[in-house]
Structure 1
């Protein structure tokens, strides 16, 4: 559990963030809640308010409400970003009135099919929120953050037109290596995802990962998937240094959430995490892998500090996930992100 001062810094930061919406300029993601959680988690709390001050110009006000979501209308409003403020209000009420684990367990299987919506940011934000609640305990700002994250996910819920399955014999490293690139490497992530049904080799690759035999194997495979995505990043990041971060951070968000979920949801969680990682990998695969990549800092703490001082939200979040995996590949991934992603400010 974080010490009182650190927890206080995070709560203060989340209270600042909750006056803003999860998006700006129409659909770009507000990375502040995820970034400040990672900074606090890894000993960089001193940078949090300075980082928020520098990021403030990107944020917009929290969207207003116009419809009360309830048991009778949620299905028709799921995936409607026009009700973003309504969804956030709904989940903010839910986590205030009910145990947050109960809300999460009820809604997790409903939201998983839309894991790639919002460029996978909603599930990533959810993973950061759950990690804080599990590690540091409840507080009003922390439970509210889970409400904001789930509301964002519900509003941006969007299943892939070409979903994946777990029906092969491959492990994560082999399965990711077999993912084909979309034919037209231009446009945003939604335009690239739309190409998946017609991408040669996608159906076979999308079903290549081995189905787990039980919850523990699902967790082990998910751990290996995160490790494989981090290890791939230094050699493939040139295809999209910002967006390919999500091939690792999205499945890691799912992995962080598993301890708060019933075990019967672990295998479906792996399946969704695989879909997110495989789809992002296909969308931003480079023409060829890089042979020479930076070695990275000597320790993981030094690597995270490098990312924190670099200041970009994606570099910080990749470093946060890399610290979970460890090893030379993690150090190289952080160094590569700091090399290719434009520093903040």
Structure 2
């Protein structure tokens, strides 16, 4: 199975296919199956999953994959009233304004360079990084990868609209974390994740769980416990966090197989956005990525580790990366595809087989 190099790169047939997939998916909203009180149900992972499938060159018929996937999606509602420079603050975190946010960002991206707009809105949205179970920042991260791959001579229209959809989802579901603190400790990412306190009762929608962190003993202290990052160290520190969260999934993923993949994929989205962000935003980006991973750990991860499962990335002599990507493609689940992409990147940095084993574990745990 061919595996194409990671972006950036020149425009090619795969990118054209990705843009066509984006155009098809943009008829739909970022969520489906929610309730009238605004509790979101499931997230539309279509744009993120097809970006991985096509960037990796996986042997999947993307059109057929989408044919099956879009059946579950809900169409994007019509806008109600325009967002303006003077009113956007009132619309932040209002899920009813999602279509208005989508139109706002699409209009903005027609008139301004996308990296300039992103640099303006990134610090505004960072405090609400857990928005939509972190799918806001993750979708933005995948859109940025697609835009970087397009290059100056490519047709970026569909990818720009994808960035607009990602930013709109993040803005509409914006919800600041309670008890936020700047890192000021000495722990590594792995030790800091282990030290995060857990909710006494892990039930309810994620918004309800996150709200209960305000009264969870030790929560603010756990955010401070990780070693702070300097600007020059942020890429390496984010990579360390992604690697630690991926390893943790291997022995804790059973607690919530779907939600816990985001402890790794959300920081990875931030990591891949860094190259287009001004350096003064790097340290706040690390702090927010850490807070997101800690919040999902606190609200969904079990306290006790499970025994390491007996999963083998590949038979002796075979390429383990190709094998793990092949299994994710065959599995077909959007969470498995995205987590495997992140786990493979982590393995290519650290060459730790447990990182690939975590991707295989996700394939075992996520069954439908």
Q: Under TM normalisation by the shorter chain, which class is it?
A: over 0.9
**Counterpart residue number, 1:10:** 18
CA distance in 2, matches of 1:291, 1:269: 33
- Per-residue Cα deviation, 1:148-178 (whole angstroms, up to 9, x for no partner): 1101111111101222421111121111111
Q: CA RMSD in A?
A: 1.4
Give the superposition deviation at 1:209.
Answer: 1.2
**Counterpart residue number, 2:240:** 224
Matches within 5 A, 1:3-152: 4-26=12-34, 27=40, 28-44=42-58, 46-137=60-151, 138=154, 139-152=156-169
Q: Normalized against structure 2, the TM-score is what?
A: 0.90
- SS of equivalent to 1:159: coil
CA distance in 2, matches of 1:35, 1:198: 36
Matches within 5 A, 1:1-345: 1=9, 4-26=12-34, 27=40, 28-44=42-58, 46-137=60-151, 138=154, 139-213=156-230, 215-298=231-314, 299-326=320-347, 327-343=352-368
Residues 50 and 248 of structure 1: CA distance in aligned 2, closer, same or farther (over 3 Å): same
Give the superposition deviation at 1:3.
Answer: 5.6
CA distance in 1, matches of 2:137, 2:261: 14
- Per-residue Cα deviation, 1:213-244 (whole angstroms, up to 9, x for no partner): 3x121222111001100111110001101000
CA distance in 1, matches of 2:334, 2:181: 28
CA distance in 2, matches of 1:287, 1:170: 18
Give the superposition deviation at 1:135.
Answer: 2.3
CA distance in 2, matches of 1:47, 1:183: 44
Residues 125 and 336 of structure 1: CA distance in aligned 2, closer, same or farther (over 3 Å): same
CA distance in 2, matches of 1:220, 1:188: 33
How many residues end up aligned between the 2 structures? 342
> Does the CA contact (< 8 Å) of 2:93 and 2:172 recur in 1?
yes
> Does the CA contact (< 8 Å) of 1:294 and 1:336 recur in 2?
no
Residues 266 and 166 of structure 1: CA distance in aligned 2, closer, same or farther (over 3 Å): same
4+ residue segments displaced more than 6 Å: none
CA distance in 2, matches of 1:254, 1:304: 22
Q: Point out where structure 1 has 5 or more consecutive residues left out of the alignment.
A: none
Q: Return 96-105 or 180-189, whichever deviates more.
A: 180-189
Give the superposition deviation at 1:287.
Answer: 4.1
> Does the CA contact (< 8 Å) of 1:22 and 1:30 recur in 2?
yes
Residues 201 and 53 of structure 1: CA distance in aligned 2, closer, same or farther (over 3 Å): same
**Counterpart residue number, 2:3:** none
Q: Normalized against structure 1, the TM-score is what?
A: 0.96
- SS of equivalent to 1:194: helix
